[in-house]
Amino acid sequence: MLLNDLIKIDEPSILKAKDIVQWKRSKGSYNFSSLPKVALIALKKNAFSRKTLLLSKKIKGISGKNYSYKSKLLLCSDFGSGSTSIILLLEELHSLGVKKFIFVGLAGIMDNHISEGEANVISSVRSLVGSSYYYSKKENINAHDLDWLNKTATVLGINMKTSICVDAPFRETPALIRFCAKNNISLIEMETAGLYAFSEFYGVSCLSILIGADRLSVDTWEHPKNIEQLIKKQKDIIQKLIKHLI
């Protein structure tokens, strides 16, 4: 028997996120009694505007930098990177009562029709990520809440694309890039497979919005040309989401 065969999606786990939450509560680790029902997630705090953070309450006890904005939205960042890190955050937040999650991140571009700084909402993701396997056995994972996906894309005025999610950014090989081109996969990144596998497992609404940054082809890598503009784009997207969600 292969070790992967021991992972049964319908078999309950021994350690649950609610156990960690109860333990933290008993220690007085949290400075809140409840959290907003919707979380906006970014890898770095600089994706949120300074004005938004000034109007927010700092949340303690959860890994990363977390803020409650007007008691209506949870803003999360600096929890790590990759699907494993985002799943750890999602598990705890879900156990604390958060119901919806939107991730705004950066991705490598493999589609010549996508410009640097262009945002797209991800309708489905191919997974080459180990952690997603514990939540979904599927190689291709669709967004769970299609109605929310369509409404968000319309509000933001952005297109839907597919991505591929990897664990090792320095092992993006020519064969992988050719596969993506053949299968109309536009973006490559590290978080969406974990996000969407978690969404499927628990039946909760999760969206991934990815902004094109660096560019990959079969034989070359091109660095982003304007980092400041990418940060500004994240801020703009998040501000639009805040206005839409509140």
Give 167-208 pLDDT, tens digit per residue: 998 999 999 999 999 999 999 999 999 999 999 999 999 999
Q: What is the mean pLDDT of residues 16-39?
A: 97
| 137 pLDDT above the threshold of 70 | yes
The per-residue pLDDT for 165 is 97
Q: Quick: pLDDT tens for 96-114.
A: 999 999 999 999 999 999 9
- Is 2's pLDDT higher than 80? no
Q: Which pLDDT value is given to residue 8?
A: 85
Closest by CA to 114, choosing from 181, 34, 20, 45, is 181
pLDDT value of residue 5: 77
Q: DSSP letters along the chain, please?
A: --GGGG--TTSPPSS-HHHHHHHHHHHT--S-S---SEEEE-SSGGGS-HHHHHTEEEE-SSSSEEEEETTTEEEEE-S-SSHHHHHHHHHHHHHTT--EEEEEEEEEE--TTSPTT-EEEEEEEEEE-TGGGGT---SEEE-S-HHHHHHHHHHHT-EEEEEEEES-GGG--HHHHHHHHHTT--EEESSHHHHHHHHHHHT-EEEEEEEEEEEE-SS-EE--S-HHHHHHHHHHHHHHHHHHH-
What whole-number percentage of the chain has pLDDT above 90?
93
Residue 132: is its pLDDT beyond 70? yes
The Cα-based distances of 173 to 102, 166, 209 in angstroms read 29, 11, 24
- Confidence (pTM): 0.96
- The arithmetic mean of pLDDT across residues 205-234, rounded, is 96
Q: Which pLDDT band holds residue 116 (cuts at 50, 70, 90)? A: very high
pLDDT in tens, 43-93: 999 999 999 999 999 999 999 999 999 999 999 999 999 999 999 999 999
Q: Which residue type is seen at 116?
A: E
Q: How many CA atoms lie within 13 A of 47 on its CB side?
A: 27
pLDDT at residue 133, as a whole number:
92
**Residue with structure tokens 């064969």?**
175
% the chain with pLDDT above 70: 99
d(C-alpha 211, C-alpha 234), whole Å: 8
pLDDT at 4: 73
The reported pLDDT for the residue numbered 1 is 60
Query: What average pLDDT is seen over the chain?
Result: 95
Q: CB-side exposure of 174: number of CA atoms within 13 Å?
A: 3
